[in-house]
Amino acid sequence: YTLVMGTVVVIALFTIVFNLIVDIMYAFVDPRVRYD
């Protein structure tokens, strides 16, 4: 169970970091993009 939990946490962290990087890249590529 420990291995499963660790894997889930790592995947979640990678997903969050990836989403943040994509958002930042979109902000640089298209400055008009703004979130409400």
pLDDT at 8 (0 to 100): 96
Residue 15: inside a domain, yes or no?
Answer: yes
Residue listed under structure tokens 């939990």? 5
Residue 36 has, within 13 A of its CA and on its CB side, a CA count of 0
pTM metric for this prediction: 0.58
d(CA 34, CA 36): 7
Residue 10 belongs to a domain: yes
Per-residue pLDDT tens digits for 12-35: 999 999 999 998 888 888 767 665
The backbone torsions φ and ψ at residue 30, rounded to the nearest 5 degrees and listed phi first, read -130, 90
9 band by pLDDT with thresholds 50, 70 and 90: very high
Task: Say how far apart CA 7 and CA 22 lie, in whole Å.
Answer: 22
Q: Is 34 contained in some domain?
A: no
Report the number of distinct structural domains present in the chain: 1
Return the pLDDT at 29: 82
Residue 21, both tokens: 């990087």
Instruction: Note whether residue 35 is domain-resident.
Output: no
Above 70 in pLDDT, residue 36?
A: no
The parent domain of residue 8 ranges over 1-29
Q: Is 36 domain-assigned?
A: no
